[in-house]
Amino acid sequence: MIGTLFRSEDVPVEDRFEYWRELVGRTRSPHDISSVHATDFRAEHRLMELGPTTVWPSSFLPSRYRRSPRQVRRSDPETYHLTLLLEGGLRLDHAGRNTTFGPGDLHLVDSSRPYDLTSVDDGDHRAVSGVGVDFPRALLPVPPHRIREVLGRALSGREGTGALLADFLVGLGRQAETLRPSDAPHLGTVVLGLVSSLFAQELDSEGALSPEARQHAMAERVRSFIRQNLHDPELAPPTIAAAHHISVSYLHRIFQQRYRGETVAAWIRRQRLEGARRDLADPALRGTPIHAVAARWGLPRAPDFTRAFRAAYGLSPREYRLQALSEPAEKPELALLVD
């Protein structure tokens, strides 16, 4: 497991809001927190330390978070705070901008500047949920004077690199219980690479990224593209390279360097077999013919699928299904998140 989890129901009602204030205060730079729901506060917060990067999925009743000029002068950890909003609404006054955010929006705050972040309470008192990312300013390979252009702005987490980042952050929260502490540094590097790529793209300054950061961002885009097209039996390196405007040789080099020497074709085959394996073990798909399961993962030739499946798992697809459906459900797989 990565990180620690706080649930307000585990704390006496009268202590919940104060506990929440102390918890968030340890996560972010000094600021004041208030809420009209303080007497019966509800929140959930997971703190995941991934090297120098901290990721914290959270959900909380409408609140206000203010960092004053005095607090900035007294203590500045020189960090950036990125937030992905998943549910609810937020209004931010920061760096000369006053912006309202909705689900799917991302925004960036600089600890060196005051801010006033308020939940938009629609009267239903619904919780706000999202994922926060905190990291040292020095680790972002984009010049500070350029980053000022995006402070307090609404950035999309629904398309392009923003969507890749959003999907990865949500996946981290879902898989936190099954990830290993040894995965943390690598996952932090992935997060920072996607964040760097997002801002470089927003500012049209890809050249500001290091070659390693650019390569990492490209690798994540390629991997996302492959996952979305695993059903296509014609998916192959030339198609993937063309879709990303890179050469086939560069595509192969990315995989050799980022994925322990695994080839593109081998990675595609492994993802397809993993998808088919999960479907064969799913009781809800018990009535789906094995050849149909294989076809939906881009493996239309039954003999080839059976041979590859047996080589990977030591059983034929039919034998595996019979065994899996007669045993208790397995724990969630991590392969697609951490590989």
| Residue for token pair 């929006």 | 105
- The CATH 1.10.10.60 portion of the chain extends over 210-339
**At a CB cut-off of 8 Å and minimum separation 6, what does 301 contact?**
none
Looking at residue 183, what DSSP letter applies?
G
Give Dmax over CA atoms of the chain in angstroms.
70
What pLDDT does residue 88 have?
Answer: 93
CATH classification code of 210-339:
1.10.10.60
What pLDDT does residue 215 have?
Answer: 73
pTM: 0.64
What pLDDT does residue 210 have?
Answer: 61
State how far the Cα of 99 lies from the Cα of 83, in Å rounded to an integer. 13
Count of H helices and E strands in the chain? 13, 12
State how far the Cα of 278 lies from the Cα of 309, in Å rounded to an integer. 12
**Which one, of 97, 209, 56, lies nearest residue 146 by Cα?**
209
Q: Which two tokens stand for residue 68?
A: 């004053």
- The CATH 2.60.120.10 portion of the chain extends over 4-207
Block means of pLDDT (10 residues each) for the chain, 339 residues, are 83 90 80 91 91 92 94 90 96 95 96 94 81 89 86 93 93 86 83 88 67 71 80 91 87 80 88 92 90 94 94 94 75 37
Pick the CATH number of 4-207 from 2.60.120.10, 3.40.50.300, 2.30.42.10, 3.40.50.1440: 2.60.120.10
What pLDDT does residue 206 have?
Answer: 55
What pLDDT does residue 223 have?
Answer: 78
